Chain A
Amino acid sequence: MAEPSLELVDVRYRYHAGAEVLRGVTFSVAAGERVGLVGPNGAGKSTLLLAIAGFLPAEGRIRVAGHTLNRSTARDVRRHLGIVFQDPDDQLFMPRVGEDVAFGPLTMGLAPDEVRARTAEALEAVGLAGFDDRSPYHLSQGEKQRAALATVLAMRPQILALDEPTAGLDPRARRRLIALLQNLTTTMLVVGHDLDLILEVCGRAILLDRGQVAADGPAAEMLRDGALLESHGLELPLSVAGRG
Chain B
Amino acid sequence: MMLDHFAAGRTPVHRLDPVAKTLASLVLILATVLVRRDHLLPFALVAAALVCYFAIGRIPVVYAAKRVLIVSPFVLAVVVLFPFFEPGHRLWAVHVGPWVLSVSDVGLARAAHLGSKFVLCALTTLGLLATTPFHGVLEGLARLRVPRAFVIQLAFLYRYLWVLLDELMRMRRARAARDGGLGPWSLRFRSHAGVVGVLFLRTYDRAERIYWAMAARGFDGRLPAPPTQRMTFKDAVFLCGVAALAAAVLTLDRVAYG
Instruction: Give the interface of A toward B (CB within 8 A).
Output: 50, 53, 55, 75, 78-79, 81-83, 85, 87, 89-91, 93-96, 99, 103-104, 106-108, 112, 115, 133, 135-137, 151-152, 155
| Bound complex: CA A81 to CA B216 (Å) | 8
Query: With a CB–CB cut-off of 8 A, which chain A residues contact B163?
Result: 89, 137
B134 touches A106 (CB 8 A): no
A83 touches B216 (CB 8 A): yes
Query: With a CB–CB cut-off of 8 A, which chain A residues contact B133?
Result: 133
Name A90's contact: one of B134, B158, B162, B209 (CB within 8 Å). B209
Query: With a CB–CB cut-off of 8 A, which chain A residues contact B135?
Result: 95-96, 99
Name A87's contact: one of B160, B209, B224 (CB within 8 Å). B209
The total number of A-B Cβ pairs within 8 Å is 75
Q: Could you say which of B160, B212, B217, B225 has the most chain A C-beta atoms within 10 Å of its C-beta?
A: B217
Interface size grouping (class) on chain B? 20 to 34
Is B218 an interface residue, CB under 8 A from the partner? yes
Q: A118: shortest Cβ distance to chain B, in Å?
A: 13
Name B159's contact: one of A103, A115, A136 (CB within 8 Å). A136
A106 touches B155 (CB 8 A): no
Q: Could you say which of B135, B158, B213, B214 has the most chain A C-beta atoms within 10 Å of its C-beta?
A: B213
Label chain A's interface by main secondary structure: helix
- The answer to whether A93 and B210 touch (CB under 8 A), given A104-B218, A151-B217, is yes
B213 touches A78 (CB 8 A): no
Query: With a CB–CB cut-off of 8 A, which chain A residues contact B226?
Result: 106, 112, 115
Is B89 an interface residue, CB under 8 A from the partner? no
B219 touches A94 (CB 8 A): no
Query: With a CB–CB cut-off of 8 A, which chain A residues contact B156?
Result: 93
Q: B57: shortest Cβ distance to chain A, in Å?
A: 18
| Bound complex: CA A106 to CA B220 (Å) | 12
B218 touches A79 (CB 8 A): yes
Give B105-136 as 1s and 0s: 1 = Cβ < 8 Å from A's Cβ atoms.
00000000000000000000000000001110
A137 touches B159 (CB 8 A): yes
Query: With a CB–CB cut-off of 8 A, which chain B residues contact A135?
Result: 159
Query: With a CB–CB cut-off of 8 A, which chain A residues contact B214?
Result: 93, 103
| Bound complex: CA A137 to CA B157 (Å) | 12
Nearest 3 CB-CB pairings of A with B: A107-B218, A106-B224, A104-B217
